[in-house]
Structure 1
Amino acid sequence: MLVAAAFLAFSVPPYLTFDPAASRLPPPPGNDFYHPLLVAHVLFGTVAMVTACFQIWPAFRTRHRRGHRITGRVYVFAGVLPAGLLGLYIGWHTAAGPSVRVANLVGSALWIAVTLIGLRAARQRRFGDHRRWMSRSFALSMSIILSRVITVVATIALTPQVNTTFGGSNELMTYSAASIGVWLSPLLLLLLTDWLLDRRKPGVRARAAVAPAH
């Protein structure tokens, strides 16, 4: 929650001015819809990230079941779904190249899909499946934070190659670093999520407890 709060405190304020000049993602030339939709995407994404933290908070989920259901509905219908749908538009019109475009489109579509699967499982009272799919949805909600970190690390690592690998184009190097970030962050978080979920299965713990020592 602290990491999410710090990220939002740094990332959201420039978009609250509704000034395209303050945006960290400059609008494509001649596209008057891009910045307003980007602002909406950021605001809905903020709702998703905040409510997602409450969804995975064990004490809140146990003591406030009605609150868990309410924040869950807010997470889906006022967070993930509008943010994900707008993310498809923003991703399609990115200026960061085709690799980032495809990553954004795949990421937004996957975010929507796993969230809807998790919602359907809850409505069918398959709470084990609900927990697994919403854990994956949470991972995708937070992947933007890791993406920024990986992009910074990739930029530092690739900068010495500007005059060789990238033919002197700093812009091409920047796009490549961004591509690494947007592809690698959701992949790592989804793998970590499933690994943690598998480790917490009762059968896994039981087998680990009786495994012979070598």
Structure 2
Amino acid sequence: MAPLALVVAVFLAYSVPPYLTLDPAQSRVPAPAGFAAHYWLLVAHIAFGTIAIVGVILQIWPWLRRTHPVAHRRIGRVYVFAGAIPSAVLAAAIGAVSPFGPVLAVLDVVAALLWLGFTVAGWRAVRQRRFADHRKWMIRSFAMCMNTLMTRALSPVSFLLLMPRIEGKETLILNAATLSGSLSVVTLLLLSQWWLDRTPKKPASAR
């Protein structure tokens, strides 16, 4: 948990501050032409996304789940309704007009809808007391919550892979963004399914 929390803290420390000024000139995402509300939707997405990513880290913390189940339930409600759902809806709206090309726009929308669907499915499962299903869906929701972070982490790798093959800065940026976005979604879905399919080793006391 500690390394994951550290990575998330570094990601937030890098990503959030430019938007605290509410100055569109400091945005790291270019606004598409004719979409005046883009910046404010982006700020709202980042605000809800920050709640989501902090909440989901607390949700997957085994110690908190075991020792403070009431806190786990309350934080879960905050994650779902004040984090994941509004952030995913806004991500789909913003992603549909991505300035990084139509392929990445489709990827962004698909990732946002997966995050939304997994989260809602997990919430419904726990409301119906299907706790095993709840765990599975929320692990997938956690994976999609990490999508932006994973995309940023894979961006330098994508640039290094494509730089010798593509000429032109703009073309390189578009292709690197598409590659990192694709790798992120596929990697997170595969890792979450691997985690669900693995056979955990039983502790010595259980054996």
Aligned counterpart for 1:53 among listed residues 51, 57, 67? 57
Aligned to 1:209: none
Aligned counterpart for 1:72 among listed residues 65, 70, 76? 76
| Cα separation, 2, equivalents of 1:3 and 1:159 | 26
Does 122-131 or 183-192 show the bigger shift? Answer: 183-192
Aligned to 1:179: 178
SS at match of 1:161: coil
1:186: Cα distance to partner? Answer: 2.1
| Cα separation, 2, equivalents of 1:73 and 1:200 | 29
| Cα separation, 2, equivalents of 1:69 and 1:176 | 41
* Equivalenced residues, count: 198
Residues 63-105 of structure 1, C-alpha deviation per residue, up to 9 Å, x if partnerless?
1111101110110000111001111110011110001000001
1:200: Cα distance to partner? Answer: 3.5
| Cα separation, 1, equivalents of 2:23 and 2:198 | 47
Q: RMSD of the TM alignment (CA)?
A: 1.3
1:148: Cα distance to partner? Answer: 0.9
**Structure 2 regions of 5+ residues with no counterpart?**
203-207
User: Does structure 1 residue 153 correspond to structure 2 residue 157?
Assistant: yes
1:188-207 alignment runs, 5 A limit: 188-200=187-199
| Cα separation, 2, equivalents of 1:54 and 1:171 | 39
Identity of aligned residues (%): 47
**Structure 1 regions of 5+ residues with no counterpart?**
164-168, 206-214
Rg (Cα) greater in structure:
1
Aligned counterpart for 2:113 among listed residues 99, 109, 113? 109
1:44: Cα distance to partner? Answer: 0.5
| Cα separation, 1, equivalents of 2:74 and 2:110 | 28
Aligned counterpart for 1:144 among listed residues 144, 148, 152? 148
| Cα separation, 2, equivalents of 1:201 and 1:59 | 17
Aligned to 2:96: 92
Residues 91-144 of structure 1, C-alpha deviation per residue, up to 9 Å, x if partnerless?
011110001000001011110001111111100101011001100100110121
Aligned counterpart for 1:82 among listed residues 86, 95, 103? 86
| Cα separation, 2, equivalents of 1:193 and 1:106 | 17
| Cα separation, 2, equivalents of 1:71 and 1:61 | 10
Residues 121-178 of structure 1, C-alpha deviation per residue, up to 9 Å, x if partnerless?
1001010110011001001101211111212111122112223xxxxx3211211111
| Cα separation, 2, equivalents of 1:143 and 1:198 | 21
User: Does structure 1 residue 127 correspond to structure 2 residue 127?
Assistant: no
TM-score normalised by the chain length of structure 1: 0.89
SS at match of 1:96: coil
1:5-44 alignment runs, 5 A limit: 5-44=9-48
1:31: Cα distance to partner? Answer: 2.1
TM-score normalised by the chain length of structure 2: 0.92
CA contact (8 A) 1:20 1:26 kept: no
